[in-house]
Structure 1
């Protein structure tokens, strides 16, 4: 409770100041981000800010700097107390908080990670089956269809449903590979660079036969390359990342990483506001929006964002 009150005080001093006075005649949307300073989530902030300006609404972007679902819940709870007109967040928070927002008639959207069978307005995120299909198609193009695949995967957090879903789709889709496949290891970074590095170093020291490394944690790909170089097995390995971290893009240009599966986090922010705005002002519920998904490689790296963000 002290944490909630402290956060509320900070928001009231630096944000919309809606808790100590009668609510003014404007819409207020909150983006409770899982990572406030992460390069990828800052793309969502860019879209969120642009949409708030275009639709003339006030918005706050608030969240922890490291993975901390309890702090995310505090942010959402404070938004409910402030009578936000809508909340955008990742579907990793408590169902009780979501139910409380619904009780207060505050629409909530999830981006990047869903929460099945919960009372929310909309979910926007990657199609994990398509992600796995894109990866396998690229792997088979580079290695052929008959080479046995020894796959290692790193996720941000094994407890998150998003990680479980991504791994499940890889297992299902890769079963179609004629040469067969085996997932030799799954590790987690906890979205911490030091841990990502240590985990990959350990995995590759134990599994020198890895020929495909998939990083579902955005910060992990560079450390995967470093570990592969350290073990002298990079030449026989394909390395994939997710998202378009600046360092990941640099590594793709330099040939250190073979590709990265990228969706538009900008769309998460922009479309999230647009959907909330239309629902709050007209009652229109959102239709299905397919999130763009591509593999960024050396061939398309200079123009992929124009196509993916729809800007």
Structure 2
């Protein structure tokens, strides 16, 4: 597999959105997670899945095409967001991409706070790269509910094609699955045509069983993606959480025929880690989930490390990290 075929091999079929379904409490309460078995499974991944040379370059280019390039800092400015959008349009040096046969490679999306949506939309005009906005009182999700719904509408009106919402963790921790379902369904409706990614904040849900059940409830309520984290929790994306969520997605697809996407976010900063996540997706869900309509990395620094690895593949030399600044 060449780098070009790996990253440009996206399928042309357009999958229908997840329409959701009535809350099935029997299904939710039957969902379990064998923590020790899950941990054994993911512990074996780095040793069993190793790609080198051209194959590694191909998968790293694939990873670039799946990144939601993100800036979510209190000191974000219009200039920083424009630079981030420029990086999304041209994620590596032109000569490097040409050597890899990857001219035209871009990231999957740019993710920003609501105030920066209009700036990002303007900077990405004509590129086909969508803008994602974090919403609903991100990252805690504790603002009044009507304001969270209104925030979604404002971001969609500003041009966001994707909305990353945060759920109320208390609904999961208290087992109030109906409340979580109703909240998610209302947020899905407020998004309109914009796709919605439900952030579970898995590091704050207590157990993998809670993660599995929350994943199912959000999918039943119409989430287009389920996402691990805001990136602001003490523990963000992990492989055990990923395996738990992927198997919930597989279960939902087996029962409904509906494809739901997955987005790990927070703490994925190294190219080698991205390769492990991609191998897990391939093993558990298959190649169709290795396309940007069904898988994203929520990341910022990841792109810089991938660019360094690709430069090493082409030139044989590692460059300093500062040569691959994100924004």
Q: Establish whether TM, by shorter chain, passes 0.5.
A: no
Between structures 1 and 2, the one with greater helix share: 2
Larger Rg: 1
* Higher normalized strand content (fraction of residues): 1
| Superposition TM-score, scaled by structure 1 size | 0.30
TM-score where L is the length of structure 2: 0.29
